Amino acid sequence: MSKKLTKNRKRILEKIDKKNKYSLEDATTIIKKISFSKFDESVDISIHLGIDSRLSNQIIRGTVLLPHGIGKNICVLALVSKDKELEAKEAGADYVGLDYIEKIKSGWVDIDVIVAIPSVMNKLGSLGKILGPKGLMPNPKLDTVSTNPGKSIKEIKSGKVTFKADRYGIIHSSIGRISFSNQYLLNNLKTFINEVIRSKPSSSKGSYIKRIYLSTTMSPSILLDSKSFLKK
């Protein structure tokens, strides 16, 4: 198995010119050619930003509704009051109700996103150490704390993803699956990048987008030619 993998890796590397920067169109074509796994790999983007993430006015986070989703069912927990439970269920929430707070305290976090209403947030303070490190704590800036939980849940289920720059100023996110058509990947890629560009803080000086890489779960990364679509 290891020999076969080595041959595949060599074949893949031959198709990538490490010195070259690829256009979005070329990148979405090549990324499909260098995938060799039998499972439907995630197509991922990494954006290196020219920010100082230690400064509170340069924290980058936001949401973006990808036109074609990410090809994965997002598991949503709705922490809502009794009168909002039906709304949450009809919107597609996988788990609904405040009883799950105790379950989380016991270590259960088998979910991707938590949507909560404002009145519930005071009950989640003790869960910070559990939810915070996993990026699951509801946040108004990400529309996961909402007076309209049904709308938020529907958007998340239809392809709305959150992003946040880590301490190194890098944003990581999935933008689809290798089974997506080139056009679907291209549409999602453009939508994601444009939203990150719109999130540029006024305090950020110099080059904002430094490098953008595209990869799959198992493939090496491809460097994109940012000059082809970024405003100078």
For 10-61, the pLDDT digits (tens) are 666 666 766 788 899 999 988 888 877 788 999 999 999 999 888 888 889 8
Going from the C-alpha of 118 to that of each of 81, 137, 164, the distances in angstroms are 10, 13, 22
Among 158, 36, 34, which residue's Cα sits nearest to residue 91?
158
Confirm whether pTM is higher than 0.85: no
Average pLDDT over residues 112-135: 92
Taking the C-alpha atoms of residue 41 and residue 34, their distance in angstroms, rounded to an integer, is 11
Residue 38 domain boundaries: 19-69+161-228
* Claim to verify: residue 117 and residue 64 sit in the same structural domain: no
133-192 pLDDT, tens per residue?
888 999 998 889 999 999 999 999 998 998 999 989 999 999 999 999 999 999 999 999
Pairing mode, strands 222-223 and 61-65: unpaired
End of a domain among 129, 152, 175?
A: 152
Task: Classify residue 176: in a domain, yes or no.
Answer: yes
Can you give the CATH number for the domain in which 95 is found? 3.40.50.790
Examine the pLDDT at 232 and tell me if it is beyond 60. no
